[in-house]
């Protein structure tokens, strides 16, 4: 626990983490401000509820679209390249002199996981909190395709040609908690992507910039291929756009996505730890 705390302190002092967090907060604040500007001067009965103005909405603004493209690089910027940097700056030896290879490896792995999660989850919660402060908690006014979404949810079980939206009952009974859950899913995916990049850094030594953007390239190529072959069920972006009618959602598809992310994060452990014995080879 002490070593994990030390790694977190190193993360909090990194310029890349601080800049990434600042940019993410500015982005979600801008998304909130845009909603305020849009509904400024409207009668209160014509303003949607806060739960419909979360920045991960699928059909109402561009924030969700931007998130579905850039989140892999947002996940990897803060701390996933820290081992690469320590090896490049020749400070790795000092770290390994003070702790065992195993303790160094796992403490940094969990810190990288946390960095990928918090860099996304904290700004999303800030956006949700601001919406709850500024907009009504309930409203008879929909936003964008909300009415379509709600109709879709209710008729999906009867109409077999329309796929059900997962977590349907949660959406109907507690939309705010549903919003939090979708934010958690996105943040968890970011955490796994950060760990995957960290694992790759044990085997890749050429360019820190390429290492940082590699997950962004891999994810968007993978997403493009799934779209070409009509495998929307396994596209992560279909699970992180709220209030969107998606034909590509299923519990099985979401389980497969996170099983793949977990395996890609955990499998390299068998080989990466060996690199600490001679990290410059």
| Number of helices followed by number of strands (H, E) in the chain | 12, 0
Is 132 a residue whose pLDDT tops 90? yes
Is 227 a residue whose pLDDT tops 70? yes
Q: Which residues pair with 242 in a beta bridge?
A: 57
Note the pLDDT tens digit of each residue in 202-226: 999 899 999 999 999 999 999 999 9
Distance separating alpha carbons of residues 78 and 193, to the nearest angstrom: 12
From residue 82, give the alpha-carbon distance in Å to each of 46, 115, 270.
49, 11, 20
Instruction: Please tell me the pTM assigned to this model.
Output: 0.90
State whether the Cα torsion 210-211-213-217 is positive or negative.
positive
On whether the CB atoms of residues 41 and 82 are closer than 8 A, the answer is: no
Is 62 a residue whose pLDDT tops 60? yes
Distance separating alpha carbons of residues 139 and 141, to the nearest angstrom: 5
Mean pLDDT of 65-71: 85
Note the pLDDT tens digit of each residue in 133-175: 999 888 776 554 444 455 555 544 555 444 567 887 888 788 8
Is 261 a residue whose pLDDT tops 80? yes
What is the SS3 assignment for 250? coil
On whether the CB atoms of residues 79 and 194 are closer than 8 A, the answer is: yes
Mean pLDDT of 24-50: 89
Average pLDDT over the chain reads 86
Note the pLDDT tens digit of each residue in 73-122: 999 999 999 999 999 988 888 888 888 889 999 999 999 999 999 999 99
Delimit the domains of the chain by residue range: 2-275
Q: Note the helical H segments in 89-100.
A: 92-98
Say which residues have a Cβ less than 8 Å from residue 72's Cβ, sequence separation at least 6.
Answer: 190, 193, 215, 216, 218, 219, 220
Mean pLDDT of 257-280: 90
Distance separating alpha carbons of residues 195 and 117, to the nearest angstrom: 10
C-alpha neighbours within 13 Å on the C-beta side of residue 1: 0
On whether the CB atoms of residues 49 and 113 are closer than 8 A, the answer is: no
Q: Which residues pair with 57 in a beta bridge?
A: 242
In this predicted structure, what is the pLDDT of residue 106?
A: 94
Higher per-residue pLDDT: 221 or 47: 221
On whether the CB atoms of residues 67 and 127 are closer than 8 A, the answer is: no
In this predicted structure, what is the pLDDT of residue 278?
A: 80
């Amino acid at each position: 626990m002490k070593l994990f705390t030390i790694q977190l302190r190193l993360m909090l002092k990194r310029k890349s983490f601080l800049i990434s967090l600042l940019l993410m907060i500015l982005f979600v604040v801008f998304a909130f401000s845009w909603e305020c500007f849009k509904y400024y001067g409207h009668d209160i009965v014509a303003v949607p509820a806060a739960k419909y103005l979360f920045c991960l909405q699928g059909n109402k603004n561009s924030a969700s679209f931007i998130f579905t493209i850039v989140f892999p690089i947002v996940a990897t910027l803060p701390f996933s390249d820290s081992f690469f940097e320590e090896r490049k700056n020749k400070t790795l030896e000092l770290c390994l002199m003070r702790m065992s290879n195993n303790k160094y490896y796992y403490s940094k792995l969990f810190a990288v996981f946390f960095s990928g999660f918090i860099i996304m989850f904290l700004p999303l919660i800030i956006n949700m909190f601001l919406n709850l402060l500024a907009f009504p908690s309930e409203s008879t006014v929909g936003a964008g395709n909300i009415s379509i979404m709600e109709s879709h949810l209710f008729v999906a079980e009867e109409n077999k040609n329309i796929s059900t939206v997962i977590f349907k009952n949660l959406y109907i009974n507690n939309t705010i908690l549903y919003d939090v859950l979708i934010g958690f899913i996105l943040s968890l995916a970011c955490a796994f992507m950060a760990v995957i990049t960290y694992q790759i850094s044990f085997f890749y030594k050429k360019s820190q910039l390429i290492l940082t953007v590699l997950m962004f390239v891999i994810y968007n190529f993978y997403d493009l291929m799934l779209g070409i072959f009509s495998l929307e069920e396994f596209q992560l972006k279909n699970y992180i756009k709220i209030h969107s009618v998606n034909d590509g959602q299923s519990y099985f598809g979401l389980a497969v996505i996170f099983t793949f992310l977990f395996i890609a994060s955990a499998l390299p452990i068998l080989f990466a730890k060996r690199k600490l014995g001679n990290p410059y080879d």
